[in-house]
Amino acid sequence: MTRADPSAMPLRIVLVDDHPVVRAGLRALLDGQPDLSVVGEADSATSAERVVTATNPDIVLMDLALGVGPGGATATAALRQLPDPPQVLVLTAYETEADILAALQAGARGFLLKDAPPAELFHAVRHVAHGRMTLAPTVAARLAERASAPAPALSPREIEILGLLAQGRSNRDMANHLFLSEATIKSHLSHIYAKLRVDSRAGAVAHALEHHIVRTARPD
C-alpha cells in the first residue's frame, strides 16, 4: 500500500508507548491539530510492527523504554526495514549518549524529550514526517560535544558494553549477550578505561553515569 500524499491530507501518526495515560495525552494533543491525525497505538515492539503494517502511517512516535521485551531502538530498526517504512521520531525521557546513538543508528529521524512543549512536538512531527532530522536542543548539544571532544570518543560498541557494565554484568554475561568472546570483551574494556582515564569497572560506570553516557537499566 502506498502512503498518501501528506500535503493533501493530515499526517498519519502511530503512538508507541507502554503507558496508556501517555498515549491518551499525546492523542489529545496531536488530534487537536488540523494537519495531524493519530491512526493507531501500540505498547510494545511487537504490537508496533503489527499496528504500523495495518495503518500505514507517515510517522511513528516511539518511546525507548517499552517495559518487558525489545526497546524502542530495536522497534525502530524493525519498522525501518518494512517495505514502506514510516519515519520515526523518538519521544522519551532518556537522553544519554547510549540512548541517542542507538536510536539514530536504528534509523530514527528525530529525538525529542517528553518534557518538550506542545509547539516543539508539533514542529518535530511535521519535520520528521517529511524526512528532515529534528533533535531536542540538549540532544543536539550532546552530539556536538561528542564530535568536538578532545579525547577519543567511545565507539557505539564500547558504549553498548559500558551500558551492560552499568547493569552489573560479568565479562561472560556480556560476551554471551553480544555474541563475542570474553577476550574481545576484555579488549573493549581496556580501550574504554583508557578513553575514560579510569582504571576499574567501578570507575568506568561512575564516569558514564556522571556524564550521561549510559543509564542504569534492567537487563534484557
Q: What is the CATH number of the domain that holds 33?
A: 3.40.50.2300
Is there a single domain that holds both residue 36 and residue 75?
Answer: yes
DSSP type of residue 32: T
In a domain, 23, yes or no: yes
Residue 197 lies in a domain: yes
| pTM for the predicted model, two decimal places | 0.72
What is the CATH number for 188?
A: 1.10.10.10
With a cut of 60, say whether residue 146 has pLDDT above it.
yes
| Parent domain of 64 | 11-145
Calpha distance 138→158 (Å, rounded): 22
What secondary structure letter does DSSP report for 87? E
Last residue of a domain, one of 99, 118, 145: 145
- Separation CA 121–CA 155 (nearest Å): 30
Contacts 24+ apart (CB under 8 A), 206-209: 208/162, 208/163, 208/165, 208/166, 209/166
Statement: residue 149 has pLDDT above 70: no
**Contact assessment for residue 104 and residue 80, using Cβ atoms and an 8 Å cutoff:** no
Same domain, 46 and 95: yes
Are residues 188 and 139 part of one domain?
A: no
What is the residue-averaged pLDDT of the chain? 88
Contacts with 189 (C-beta within 8 Å, 6 or more apart), sequence order? 161, 165, 171, 201, 204
Question: Total domain count for the chain?
Answer: 2
pLDDT higher than threshold 50 for residue 218: no
The answer for 166, left when phi > 0, alpha when psi is -120 to 50, beta otherwise, is alpha
72 and 129, same structural domain?
A: yes
Pick from 4-8, 78-82, 213-217: least confident: 4-8
* CB 129 within 8 Å of CB 58: yes
Decide which of 69 and 192 is more confident: 192
pLDDT for the residue numbered 217: 53
Residue 111, beta-bridge partner list: 90, 135
What length does the chain have?
220
Are 185 and 128 members of one domain? no
For residue 88, the SS3 value is strand
Burial of 34 (0-12, 13-18, 19+ CB in 10 A): exposed
The reply to whether 218 falls in a domain is no
**Domain contains 163:** yes
Per-residue pLDDT reduced to its tens digit, 176-211: 988 989 999 999 898 888 888 888 888 888 888 887
Residue 107 shares a structural domain with residue 176: no
Could you say which of 88, 118, 145 is where a domain stops?
A: 145
